[in-house]
Structure 1
Amino acid sequence: MFKFKFFLDFDKEEKWLEDMARNGYHLNKASFGYHFLEGEPEETTIKIDYRRFKYKEDFLDYCSLFEDSGWKHISGTKNSGIQYFKKDTNTEEDDIFSDYHSKAARYKRYSSMSFQLAISYLPLLVVFYLTDIIDFNAFVNPKELYYTPGLWDKTGTSFWFSFLFETPFALMRGFAWSFIPLTMLLYLFFSIKSNRLYVQKSDKEFS
């Protein structure tokens, strides 16, 4: 079964995955959504960490360290960042983190990575602007995006057919670049929100 959901709060995501397991849906893979295997309902503990690795050997060592401590790695790659662990029945530990600070630090890592991804799009945006791919005139005179000869002289059904047919292509020509600033804003939102969660979770250590 596949479900699409999005979380910034790892604690809420963990609780949701545990609730799914109680209903007989066990996480198999998390990538642009959640892939579950249907089985027997199970009371389990799932924990999430956020780490990226440059080398595969470091990632394998990381997974082995947790498995030696009684936590099975169920989803995540060296580049995915988000790592999912399921508690083994042989361990008495209920968390993969030793204290609130280390638990909150995953939000800080996620915030930093989101900020880096946002900034990484900036050079591409500049290149698009310098090569005239970004044309702000499209906002002022969108008619120039339509290439059908005599389109604006047509009337009735002929006009609407031609207009509706070409509109998707016109939008691609004039505004396809907009995915870059939108993506940058999205990553910046992730960064700010995650940093707030980091501060919030860190404060628990002193409360």
Structure 2
Amino acid sequence: MKKYRYFTDIDCEEQWLNKMADKGYGLKGKGFFSYRFADEATSDPSIVKIDYRTFKHPEDFTDYRTLFEDSGWKHLFSSQGLHYFRKENSSASDDIFSDAESRAGRYKRLFQAYFALSFIFLSFILTLFTANALNTDLFIRPQSLYYTPGLWDKTGATFIGAFLFETPFALMRGGAGWIVLLSALSFFYLFVKTYKKYRKCLYDH
């Protein structure tokens, strides 16, 4: 069974996965916008937890996975630095983190990654500004981004066909820089949001 979802909040993702687990649907895998679950529900729900961590060496990942499996948590799969675990041993703790400090460590690793991404995209923005590639015509004079000769003199179905054909190219001409800017702002927002969670987790306990 496949479900289509996209999360930017690791806690919301975890909560949703556990709601699916409560219904008996075991998590099998993840795509960019989708999750794969067992086709049939079972009567044996199990807790799902997510960690974020990157590794420089394969043996470090092997040690990491073994540590959790020895604690009763099965490593299901990894996706873009996120690692998904399912509780396999009924005697294991209901959390993969032993204390508030280790739980806060997950948020710390996440906000560091978001900060790095926002910095990279902001660097792109500075480059685009320098090259005058951040095109304000997308909002001020969108018609100037259409290069088809006589486009605005066409009428009826001929105009609609030509307009729809060139619109993707016009958006690429005028929108690429704004997409980069939006990405930079999005990653910076996620950095701030995750940093607040880190502080709360670390200092509220």
Find the counterpart in structure 1 of residue 113 from structure 2. Answer: 113
1:38 is aligned to 2:18:
no
Query: Displaced runs of 4+ in structure 1, greater than 4 A?
Result: none
How far has the Cα of 1:156 moved from its partner? 4.4
TM-score (norm 1): 0.84
Q: In the alignment, which of 40, 50, 55 is matched to residue 57 of structure 2? A: 55
| Cα offsets for 1:104-137 (capped at 9, x unmatched) | 2211211111110111123333333444443334
**Aligned ranges 1:2-81 → 2 under 5 Å:** 2-3=2-3, 4-10=5-11, 12-32=12-32, 33-39=34-40, 40-76=42-78, 80-81=80-81
Partner Cα separation in structure 2 for residue 20 and residue 138 of structure 1: 42
1:171 is aligned to 2:171:
yes
Report sequence identity in percent: 43
Corresponding letter in the other structure for 2:50: I
How far has the Cα of 1:51 moved from its partner? 0.8
Query: Conserved in 1, the CA contact under 8 Å of 2:2 and 2:36?
Result: yes
Query: Conserved in 2, the CA contact under 8 Å of 1:22 and 1:43?
Result: yes
Judging changes above 3 Å, is the alpha-carbon distance between structure 1 residues 67 and 140 closer, same or farther for their aligned structure 2 residues?
same
Partner Cα separation in structure 1 for residue 87 and residue 163 of structure 2: 58
Query: Conserved in 2, the CA contact under 8 Å of 1:107 and 1:198?
Result: yes
How far has the Cα of 1:89 moved from its partner? 2.1
Partner Cα separation in structure 2 for residue 89 and residue 31 of structure 1: 27
Judging changes above 3 Å, is the alpha-carbon distance between structure 1 residues 138 and 84 closer, same or farther for their aligned structure 2 residues?
closer
| Cα offsets for 1:72-115 (capped at 9, x unmatched) | 111215xx221111112264322221111211221121111111
Question: Which SS does the other structure have where 2:97 is aligned?
Answer: coil
Judging changes above 3 Å, is the alpha-carbon distance between structure 1 residues 167 and 46 closer, same or farther for their aligned structure 2 residues?
closer
Partner Cα separation in structure 2 for residue 6 and residue 41 of structure 1: 27
Find the counterpart in structure 2 of residue 188 from structure 1. Answer: 188
**Aligned ranges 1:128-139 → 2 under 5 Å:** 128-139=128-139
Output the aligned Cα RMSD: 2.3
TM-score (norm 2): 0.85
Gaps of 5+ in 2: none
Aligned residues: 202
Once structures 1 and 2 are overlaid, which stretch shifts more, 25-34 or 120-129? 120-129
Partner Cα separation in structure 1 for residue 155 and residue 96 of structure 2: 67
Question: Which SS does the other structure have where 2:38 is aligned?
Answer: strand
Partner Cα separation in structure 2 for residue 94 and residue 159 of structure 1: 61
Query: Conserved in 2, the CA contact under 8 Å of 1:49 and 1:83?
Result: yes
